[in-house]
Structures are given as C-alpha cells and as structure tokens.
C-alpha cells in the first residue's frame, strides 16, 4: 500500500516592501512521503518570495512534469516556474522552454557542489534566476513547520524574516544567477 501525502495548512501574511506586495494567503500543502519538513518550508519560503494571486503549489514530487510552484496566466501560459532543490540541467532547460521566468531555490550542504557543476551549463538561459539558501537557514525554517501554521513573512532590502508566534528566522538568499547574466 502506498503512503499518502501529509496535509499542512498555513495562513501566511506577507509584507514584501521590496515588491510592494501585501497580502494574506491561506495555503494548503501536501507533503510527499519522501519530502522532509525542511523542503516543505523552503517551498513556503519560495511562495512568500514570489507571491502573486495566480501563484500556486503543484503536484511537485508527485509529478515530474511540474515544478514545485508555478504562476499561470488566464490562458494557461506559465509565467513563472519555481523549482526547489537541485534540479538537473535537462529539467532547467525544459523549464526555460516552457516558462517566461524560471527560478531555482537551491538549499542543503551540497548546493555549492551542485552549482559548481551546473553554472556553465545554465549560463545561456536568459530568464533563469538561481538563489541559494544557507543550510542553517533551511534547517531553521524546518523548525517552524507544523500541521497548522500561522506565519508572517516580511521582506525588506533583500532581507527576509519568516516567523510564527514563538520564533523568527532571519534569512538571506545568496544570488547565484540573475536573468540575462552570463557566468
């Protein structure tokens, strides 16, 4: 018998002063049996950083043809494709062919090694952004995970604070690649 996904619910209040985006979101996340709480919370962080009324979580690990999050316009065109982790070059190439904007949010102790092998391969993709989250930050995010969460996210001058009622985690995303930049 296959294991089922674990459902997490969150209310997420976002105050993104860098983008001028202020909104409350009620989100439901399905945590795949092979997914850690650390990865789940990195997906929440990605949602908070790119929040938009059309941004949504996908089937993620359950469907290899979908990213972790995407934003589609009313015609079904993918405006933004967001992958969490360390996708291979063929996945990034496929994403860049399908979406106007592609974002990869890498995390874990092996992210540096992954990027050293990936940087030259993906330099040609003009609309690709790659961020790296330090392992200690992604692990601190995991500590915020609960089946029912109430989270606040504040973004100001590139600094991100994600908090629940007891704990605040201060984060910085390290830029590995920005759009239209050749390595």
Q: pLDDT digits over 110-145, tens only? A: 999 999 999 999 999 999 999 999 999 999 999 999
List Cβ neighbours of 15 (8 Å cut-off, separation of 6 or more).
22, 152, 153, 154, 155
pLDDT at 1 (0 to 100): 53
In the DSSP assignment, the letter for residue 68 is: S
pLDDT at 137 (0 to 100): 96
Q: Are 102 and 96 in contact (CB under 8 A)?
A: yes
Query: What ranges do the domains of the chain cover?
Result: 6-160+167-177
Q: Are 43 and 69 in contact (CB under 8 A)?
A: yes
Could you tell me the pLDDT band of residue 16, with boundaries at 50, 70 and 90?
A: very high
Per-residue CA distances from 39 to 1, 34, 53, 71, 77 (Å): 24, 10, 23, 20, 26
Q: Which residues does residue 57 pair with via DSSP β-bridges, in sequence order? A: 69
Helix (H, G, I), strand (E, B) or coil at 64: coil
Query: Which CATH number, 3.90.1150.10, 3.20.10.10, 3.40.960.10, 3.10.640.10, labels domain 6-160+167-177?
Result: 3.10.640.10
**Rounded distance between C-alpha atoms, residue 12 and residue 5, angstroms:** 21
pLDDT at 182 (0 to 100): 47
Q: What is the pTM of this model?
A: 0.92
pLDDT for 183 beyond 50: no
Helix (H, G, I), strand (E, B) or coil at 4: coil
pLDDT at 59 (0 to 100): 73
Q: pLDDT digits over 140-178, tens only? A: 999 999 999 999 999 999 999 999 999 999 999 999 999
Handedness of CA 78, 171, 59, 151 (dihedral sign): negative
Q: pLDDT digits over 59-70, tens only? A: 765 567 789 999
Helix (H, G, I), strand (E, B) or coil at 122: helix
pLDDT for 5 beyond 90: no
* Percent helix, strand and coil across the chain, each to the nearest 5: 25, 40, 35
By the 10 Å C-beta count (0-12 exposed, 13-18 middle, 19+ buried), 117 is classed as exposed
């Amino acid at each position: 018998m296959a294991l089922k996904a674990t459902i997490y619910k969150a209310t997420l209040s976002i105050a993104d002063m860098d983008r001028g985006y202020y909104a409350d979101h009620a989100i439901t996340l399905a945590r795949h049996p092979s997914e850690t709480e650390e990865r789940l919370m990195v997906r929440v962080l990605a949602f908070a950083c790119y929040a938009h009324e059309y941004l949504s979580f996908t089937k993620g690990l359950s469907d290899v043809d979908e990213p972790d999050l995407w934003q589609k316009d009313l015609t079904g065109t993918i405006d933004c494709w967001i992958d969490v982790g360390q996708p291979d070059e063929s996945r990034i190439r496929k994403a860049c062919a399908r979406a106007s904007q592609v974002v990869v949010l890498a995390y874990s102790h092996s992210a540096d090694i992954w990027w050293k092998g990936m940087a030259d391969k993906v330099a040609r993709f003009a609309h690709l952004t790659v961020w790296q989250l330090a392992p200690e930050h992604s692990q601190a995010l995991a500590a915020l995970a609960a089946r029912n969460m109430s989270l606040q996210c504040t973004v100001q001058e590139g600094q991100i604070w994600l908090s629940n009622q007891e704990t605040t985690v201060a984060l910085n995303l390290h830029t590995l690649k920005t759009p239209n930049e050749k390595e």
